[in-house]
Amino acid sequence: MKESTICPRLSKAMELIGKRWTGLILYQLLEGPQRFNEIESALPVSGRLLSERLKELEKEGLVVRHVYAEVPVKVEYSLTEKGKGLKDAIADIEQWSKVWLS
Amino acid sequence: MKESTICPRLSKAMELIGKRWTGLILYQLLEGPQRFNEIESALPVSGRLLSERLKELEKEGLVVRHVYAEVPVKVEYSLTEKGKGLKDAIADIEQWSKVWLS
DNA sequence: ATAGTAAGTTACAAATAGTAACTATGAAAG
DNA sequence: CTTTCATAGTTACTATTTGTAACTTACTAT
C-alpha cells in the first residue's frame, strides 16, 4: 500500500460499504429487525458470510444482536442509529439503480 | 447461490459499489477528469487493480477513457452522466463518515 | 430413538486482491 | 547510438477472501 491523500474516515466508510453483501444486508435491515434466517433467505448470501458480515457490522456499531432464549433459539439483528444513518446513502443507490440500470 | 427476493437492479448496483476501491475511484473522479497516475497516487490502490476497476467501470458505462496521443501517452478518465448519477450517494456516505466515524 | 429447527461453524476449493518486476513507445541526454 | 526517463499499463506469483456443502449444539416434538 502507498500514501494516499484521501480522508481516512471516508476511506473507512468505503471499506465498510465496499465489502461484498454489506450494502444489501443494511438495506434488508432498514426494513426492520430481522432474524438470521430471514436475512439469509432474502439475500443470495451464504450463512458463513452472513455470519461474518454481521459480526463486522456489530463490531463497528452499525448493528445490534439480540438473543431470545426461546426454543429453538431466536436471534434478531437490528440497526443502531449509526446503522440507520446510512439510510439516505442506500436510498440514493437504490434510486440510481432505478434510473440507470436496465 | 440461492433464490433471493431482492431487486436485481439494486443488487447489481450494490455489486458495483460494493467492490473494493470502486467507491473511492468514483469519489476521486467526481473532482473532475483525471489521469491514470493521478488516481493511482491519490488512492492506496495498485496499478493492477486500478486498471481492472477502470475497465469494469468503463464497461458499465460509468467512466469514459480518453487517450491523448502525446508523448508519453496521456490517458484521462472521466465520469459519464451515469457515473455522475452516483454523486449524491457518495456525498451521503462522505457525510455519514463525518458524523459517525472518529 | 429419530427427526426437526435455528443459528451458526468447519473444511476445503475457487476466485480475487496485493506486490513487485517487467513491457512498449518515443523523447531527450550524454 | 545507447542509456535514461516517463506514462500506462501487464505479468507472475503469493496471500487473502469467497463460495459450497456438510457438520454442530441445544432443545422439542413424534
pLDDT in tens, A6-31: 999 999 999 999 999 999 999 999 99
Q: Which amino acid is at A21?
A: W
Specify the CATH class of B8-100 in words: mainly alpha
Spatial contact of A53 and A19, defined as CB atoms under 8 Å apart: yes
Residue A2 pLDDT class (50, 70, 90 cuts):
very low
How high does pLDDT run on average in chain B? 95
Summarised one tens digit per residue, pLDDT across range A83-99 is 999 999 999 999 999 99
pLDDT confidence of residue B13: 98
3-state secondary structure of A18: coil
Q: Which nucleotide is at minimal CA–C1' distance from A71?
A: D27
**Strand D bases, protein C-beta under 7 A:** 6-12, 17-22, 26-28
Shortest CA distance from B84: residue in chain A = A96
In chain B, the N- to C-terminal Cα span, in Å, equals 36
pLDDT confidence of residue A71: 86
Summarised one tens digit per residue, pLDDT across range B4-26 is 689 999 999 999 998 999 999 99
pLDDT confidence of residue A37: 97
Q: Which amino acid is at B38?
A: E
Helix (H) or strand (E) holding A59: helix A47-59
pLDDT confidence of residue B1: 43
Q: How many CB pairs under 8 A join A and B?
A: 125
pLDDT confidence of residue B2: 46
Domain positions in chain A are: 8-96
Which residues in chain A have Cβ-Cβ distances shorter than 8 Å to B44?
Answer: 1-4, 6
> Would the Cβ of A6 be found within 7 angstroms of any atom in strand C?
no
DSSP chain B: -----S-HHHHHHHHHHTSTTHHHHHHHHTT--EEHHHHHHHSS--HHHHHHHHHHHHHTTSEEEEEE--SS-EEEEEE-HHHHTTHHHHHHHHHHHHHH--
- Which CATH number is A8-96 given? 1.10.10.10
In chain A, the N- to C-terminal Cα span, in Å, equals 36
Q: Do B12 and A97 touch (CB under 8 A)?
A: yes
pLDDT confidence of residue B74: 97
d(CA B93, CA A45): 24
Summarised one tens digit per residue, pLDDT across range B25-60 is 999 999 999 999 999 999 999 999 999 999 999 999
d(CA B44, CA B21): 9
> Would the Cβ of B84 be found within 7 angstroms of any atom in strand C?
no
Summarised one tens digit per residue, pLDDT across range A31-73 is 999 999 999 999 999 999 999 999 999 999 999 999 998 889 9
Residue A1 pLDDT class (50, 70, 90 cuts):
very low
C-alpha grid cell for residue B99? 458524523
Residue B94 pLDDT class (50, 70, 90 cuts):
very high
